[in-house]
Amino acid sequence: MPTYGRLAVTFTKGEGAWLWDQNNTRYLDALSGIAVCNLGHAHPAIHKTICAQSQQLLHTSNLYHIPQQEELATKLCTLSGMDNVFFSNSGAEANEAAIKIARLYGKQKGIANPAIIVMDNSFHGRTMATLSATGNPKVQEGFTPLLEGFIRVPFDDIAAIEAALKQHDTIAAILVEPIQGESGVNIPAPDYLNKIRALADQHDILMMLDEVQTGIARTGAWFAFQHNQIIPDVCTLAKALGNGVPIGACMAKGKASEMLTAGKHGSTYGGSPLVCSVALTVLDIIEKENLCQQASDKGAAINKALTEQLKNNPAVVDVRNKGMMIAIELDQTCTELVALAVEAGLLINVAGDKNIRLLPPLIINNEQIELLVNTLCNLIEHHTQQK
């Protein structure tokens, strides 16, 4: 079905931050399949794991114990401070689990119709529940009736959350992205998550973070919430956890971890031996290659180089980053830059019409960073002069 307006390019192979098309033309990937391939393409250790695991066992279902799944859950809990994990196959499904946890939590508190506070400009996925939670009219258009039970407030606005908590006595949870990705790399005030944590404690509601895009070293920490020295009650993951194999995870802590008991939720594929063995390898590589630190250092280097090269361009409103989540905000729409960049051998993305979004693989090297910055700055200079 024509659900995507695709660019006129077909990739046939990759290696690290490089991709090649059918004509053997090379492209620098500064998007990583939308924050998925943090370790780049065709990583030899991932290849090895997929081969070895496929020789042993791909799938048995969750009717039986799956040691790889248990090991991955333990590892994720150790890294995050969470207590347990439900495995799904995508980010939207991970968020579905979070929404179900919130509703059970509300019910347990005696709320007949529990509600979840969600944010303007958020993105949580394309299933009916997650598009209802999403704060983008384009995503919701045509799909009413939406799922009920979401109360929307502006992002990065603690007073708005406080007001909603005062106004409604049905709230069971707050669901928020630590940094909004799809709407343009919106980085909130440094203490935003700390204040949400405090409010959630004060009102006995769940703090639920959608780290589908920010999680797994992207922002320079394993999880974005670790920049704030807090732990949420629920945290969802997907994208980079599998580096390209489909996996999602909903981690929970404390009371939230006791909601989904036997029979309350499930997935046929979720947490299979194959995807869990790959995810374990992903975590292992990030640890061994110190990629959290690398994301932090390289993100800062890219921001510095972009800022320097673009400093005299009045059309550039802002260059911002948290680790390797990077945006260049222009004072004009720039969606046409994506296709122009492809012609120049560079893969980028535009989010929220005016923000060039970069999500390079964390293994990108200095030479590639230089090529990325130079190619992109040339494109921006050209584009903004023409207007």
Helix (H, G, I), strand (E, B) or coil at 381: helix
Give the type of residue at 379. Answer: L
SS (H, E, C) 57-105: CCCCCCCCCCHHHHHHHHHHHHHHCCCEEEEECCHHHHHHHHHHHHHHH
Per DSSP, what are the bridge partners of residue 207? 174
Q: Helices 158-167 and 192-203 meet at what angle, rounded to 10?
A: 20
Could you tell me if 68 and 280 are in contact, meaning their C-beta atoms sit under 8 angstroms apart?
A: yes
Q: Which of 86, 87, 210, 223 is catalytic?
A: 210
Q: Which is nearer to ligand PLP, 174 or 379 (CB)?
A: 174
Question: How near is the Cβ of 377 to ligand PLP at its closest, in Å?
Answer: 26
Annotated catalytic residue 239:
yes
Q: Which is nearer to ligand PLP, 252 or 316 (CB)?
A: 252
Which segments within the chain are labelled E, that is strand?
Answer: 11-15, 18-21, 26-29, 84-88, 115-119, 150-153, 171-176, 206-210, 234-237, 248-252, 316-322, 325-330, 346-347, 349-351, 355-358
Question: How near is the Cβ of 267 to ligand PLP at its closest, in Å?
Answer: 13
Question: How near is the Cβ of 206 to ligand PLP at its closest, in Å?
Answer: 17
Give the type of residue at 102. Answer: A
Q: Which is nearer to ligand PLP, 177 or 329 (CB)?
A: 177
Question: How near is the Cβ of 178 to ligand PLP at its closest, in Å?
Answer: 9
Determine the Cα–Cα distance for residues 64 and 124; give it in Å rounded to an integer. Answer: 30
Tokens of 263: 């029979």
Q: Which is nearer to ligand PLP, 320 or 357 (CB)?
A: 357
Tokens of 330: 């222009």
Q: Which is nearer to ligand PLP, 237 or 316 (CB)?
A: 237
Question: How near is the Cβ of 271 to ligand PLP at its closest, in Å?
Answer: 15
Question: How near is the Cβ of 387 to ligand PLP at its closest, in Å?
Answer: 30
Closest CA to 221 of 33, 79, 37: 79
Q: Which is nearer to ligand PLP, 95 or 368 (CB)?
A: 95
Question: How near is the Cβ of 259 to ligand PLP at its closest, in Å?
Answer: 20
6-17 in b/e burial notation, b at 16+ Cβ within 10 A? eeeeeeeebebb
Determine the Cα–Cα distance for residues 190 and 158; give it in Å rounded to an integer. Answer: 12
Give the type of residue at 34. Answer: I
Which segments within 92-211 are labelled E, that is strand?
Answer: 115-119, 150-153, 171-176, 206-210
Q: Which of 86, 123, 155, 225 is catalytic?
A: 123
Question: CB atoms < 10 A from the CB of 259, how many?
Answer: 20
Q: Which is nearer to ligand PLP, 246 or 384 (CB)?
A: 246
Ranked by CB distance to ligand PLP, the top (closest) residue is 91
Question: How near is the Cβ of 244 to ligand PLP at its closest, in Å?
Answer: 12
Annotated catalytic residue 255:
no
Tokens of 197: 């944590």
Interface residues toward ligand PLP, by CB under 6 A: 90-92, 95, 123-125, 177, 181-182, 210, 212-213, 238-239
* Degrees to nearest 5, angle at CA 214 with 258 and 1: 95
Determine the Cα–Cα distance for residues 95 and 189; give it in Å rounded to an integer. Answer: 24
Q: Which of 155, 223, 239, 253 is catalytic?
A: 239
Annotated catalytic residue 311:
no
Q: Which is nearer to ligand PLP, 272 or 368 (CB)?
A: 272
Q: Which residues are catalytic?
A: 123, 210, 239
